[in-house]
Structure 1
Amino acid sequence: MRADGATGVDSVGAGRVETLALEGISSQSAYESFLPAAKALEPGFIEECCADIVLAYQVVRHAVEQVLGTGATSVSELPHVNVADLSLLPRLVQGLAYAALRVEREREAASFGPLFERAQQVRRRLRKAADALAEAQLLPDSDIDEVWLHERQDVLDDCLSLVALFRRNAARIASRSPVTVIEVDAAEQLVGQLRTVLGQQTSVRQEENPLFRAIEMRDRFWTLLLQRYDMLWRCGAWLYGRAVAERVPPLPVRPALVRPNPGGVMDGAAPRADMVPPRSLSTPGLVPMRGGSPASASRTPERTMSRHLDELQREMDRKTRFLVRIGAIPSARR
C-alpha cells in the first residue's frame, strides 16, 4: 500500500530540486528579449508546455553546436533561414525557464494553484486518451473533428468537452478506453470544484488572473521554441540526412499517462521523460550527408525515419482539417 505522506514529501522535494535547476539556467533578460516574439504568436496554435526544460536546454545547446558549429556557412545559404535566430535558441530556452519559474511563483501564491495543477494533469490524461481513440478511428467523424479542432480550448472548458465526449461514446469505447467511467466523473467534479473556488476570487477570467497569464506566457515561449527548433531540425536534415536524429535530437517532454492507474483516480506515478520529434507541416527535402562515412548515416534505422514521416503526415492532416473547418482554406469536397 502506498504511503501517502512519504509520497507527498518526495514530491515536494523533487519539485524543489527542479525549481533550483530551473533557477540555474533561467534569465530574465532572455525572457524580456523574446517576449515580443512570444506575444506575437497566434493564440490558436499555442501548445501546452510539458517539457523537461533543464534537459531541453542541454539538447538545444548540443543541436545548435552540431548544426551551426561547422555548417553555419552552408545553412546561411538556405532560403528563409535566419542563422542569428537559430544561434540564440539556447537563450530562448533560458527565457522559457524564467517563464516557467514565474508560473511556479504564481501557483504558490494562488489559493487554487494546486487544484488547477490537478486539473491540468487530468486534462492532459483525457486528451491523450481521446487522441488515441481518434487515431484508432474508434470515434464518430464529428467527435474526431472535435478532438482535433478543440484542443486549444481553455483548460476547464476542454475538460468538460472531453467529459461529454467520453460519455457520448461510452458504449462504443467500452473496454477500449484507458480512461474509466469513474475517472470521467472525477474530472467533472474537479472542474466544478475549481470553478467554485474561482468564483470566490476577485479575478475570475483567465486573462485577468496572474497565474493564468503566467501559464499562457510559458506556453507561448514553449511554442516559439518548437517552431524555431523545427527550423534547426530542417537545417540539420539538409546537412546530415538521416543522421539528423543524432545531431538534432527531439526535445524532451513529459507526456500525460493514459493507461489505467490502480493507485488512485487521476493520480498516477511521476511522469516519465519522453522525446517528441519536431513537428512540421511539410517534410524537408533530405540530401546525402555532407562528409563522413555512409556507415555513420546507417546508424539511424529506416523505421525511425518512417515513424517520423508518419508523425509529420498526421500533424499535417490535423492542421489541414482545422484550417478547412475555420474557412482559412477551401474544402476539397465538391
Structure 2
Amino acid sequence: MRVDTLALEGISSQSAYEAFLSAAKALEPGFIEECCADIVLAYHGVSHAVEQVLGGGAQSVSGLPHVDVGELSLLPRLVQGLAFAALRAEREREAASFGSLFERAQQERRRLRKAADAFAESHLLPDADIDEVWLHARQDVLEDCLSLVALFRRNAARIAGRSPVTPGEVDAVEQLVGQVRMVLGQSGSARQEENALFRAIEMRDRFWTLLNQRYDVLWRCGAWIYGRAVVDRVPPLPVRPALVRREPGGVADGAAPRVDMVVPRSMSTPGLVPVRGGSPSSPSRTPERAVSRHLDEIQREMDRKTRFLVRIGALPSARR
C-alpha cells in the first residue's frame, strides 16, 4: 500500500521533525517499532485526544507522577514530525534501485512475524524459539527474515497444518533476501542507497515509537479522568500495513483500506494512581472487553521484557 504523499505533505512539518529529532535518536534500538500507521488519521485522532485530556483536565493530570503536560500537549506536533520522516523514507524508497525488492521483504517479514507471534502465544514452539520470537523482533529486516525462515523450518513438524505460511513461501522469502543482498552488493552506489533508505526508514520508525510511548501516557491520563470511557475520548492509534504496494485487483477501486485500531505500548509505564470510575458526563460506557484487551497487551509486553532481562542476565532465570 503506497503512502499517500499528498495527504502527508498537508500535515508534515520540517520544524516539528527537527524539534523531536534528538528525542527520537535517543531511543534504545531494541525498542524501536516498525511504523504501520495511517499517519494522517493518527494526526486527527491525537489532536482530538489531547483536547479531551488536556482541555479540561490539564490541572488534574499535572499532579500525576511521571506526567509532563507540556510534552503531551505537543503530541500533534510530534505526528507532524512523523509525517515528515515518513515522506523522506518514501522518497528514498522510490529513488533506491532495490526499493521495490526491499518493500516486498518488509511485507514478507510482517507475515512471518505475525505467524511466529501466534505460534509463540499458543506455545506451539520450544521455549528457546519462543524467546527468539519475542526477543529479536527489532533486528535488521533482512536478518530477521532469515531468522524467521530458519525458525519455520526447525518447527515444520510442530506447525504442519497450522501455519498460514507454506513451506514454499518460506523458501521464497529466503530467495527474496538473497536478491536484495545481491543488488546491494553490486556497486558502491547501491551501498550509498542502502544507507540513505535504511536510515530514513529507521528514523521514521523512531518517530513512530516515540509517538507510541508518549501517547500511551496520554491514554493513561485519559483513563484516570474518564475510566472505562477512555476509548471514546482517547482512541487507539490507527495502524495498517505501511509502505506495502497494493496488489492489482486486491482492493476494489474506491474501497477504503482496512484500518486496525491498536492501543500503543510504551517501554516504560508511568506510575499513575488507580483509575477512577466512569465520568458522570460520559454518555455511554465502553465494553469491559476493550479495557481487558488493553491490559492483556500490557501483560504480554511485560512478559516479553522480563524474558529479555532474563536472557541478558539482568534477572535470574526460573528454569533449573
Question: Which of residues 262, 287, 301 in structure 1 aligns to 2:276?
Answer: 287
Query: Map of 1:1-334 to 2, 5 A cutoff?
Result: 15=2, 18-202=4-188, 209-255=195-241, 269=250, 272-280=258-266, 285-292=274-281, 296=283, 299-333=285-319
TM-aligned CA deviation for residue 201 of structure 1: 3.4
Give the equivalent residue in structure 2 for 1:3: none
C-alpha distance in 1, partners of 2:148/2:109?
8
Report the CA distance shift for 1:250/1:188 in structure 2 as closer, same or farther (over 3 A). same
Q: Distance in 1 between matches of 2:241 and 2:103?
A: 15
Q: Secondary structure at the match of 2:221?
A: helix
Number of residue equivalences: 309
Q: What residue identity is the alignment partner of 1:133?
A: F
Alignment deviations for residues 64-98 of structure 1 (CA, whole Å, 9 cap, x no partner): 01000100111111111111100000000000000
Judged with a 3 Å threshold, the aligned counterparts in structure 2 of structure 1 residues 133 and 333 are, in CA distance, closer, same or farther, namely: closer
Q: What CA distance in whole angstroms lies between the structure 2 residues aligned with 1:181 and 1:217? A: 34
Give the deviation of 1:323 after TM superposition: 1.6
Instruction: Indicate how the Cα distance of structure 1 residues 314 and 207 shifts in structure 2: closer, same or farther if over 3 A, else same.
Output: farther
Quick one: distance in 2 between partners of 1:57 and 1:37?
A: 19
| Distance apart, 1:200 and its partner CA | 1.2
Segments of 5+ residues of structure 1 without an aligned counterpart are 1-10, 257-262
SS in 1 for 2:157: coil
User: C-alpha deviations, 1:242-273, integer Å up to 9, x for none?
Assistant: 111111111011159xxxxxx99xx9946621
> Quick check: 1:206–1:212 contact (8 Å CA) kept in 2?
no
CA–CA separation in structure 2 for the residues paired with 1:120 and 1:210: 17
Q: C-alpha displacement at 1:208, in angstroms?
A: 6.7
- Describe the shift of the 1:201–1:58 C-alpha distance in structure 2 as closer, same or farther (beyond 3 A): farther
CA distance in 2, matches of 1:183, 1:333: 35
Distance in 2 of aligned mates of 1:252 and 1:152: 21
> In the aligned structure 2, how far is the partner of 1:188 from the partner of 1:69?
51
Q: For residue 7 of structure 1, what is the aligned residue in structure 2?
A: none
SS of structure 1 residue aligned to 2:82: helix
TM-score by length of 1: 0.87
Q: Distance in 2 between matches of 1:82 and 1:132?
A: 36
Q: Percent identity?
A: 79
The structure with higher relative contact order (CA 8 Å, sep 6+) is 2
CA RMSD of superposed structures (Å)? 2.3
SS in 1 for 2:238: strand
- Secondary structure of the 1:153 match is coil
C-alpha spacing 1:201/1:93, structure 2 compared with 1 (3 Å): farther
Matched position secondary structure for 1:103: helix
Note the residue ranges of structure 2 that are not aligned, 5 or more in a row: 252-256
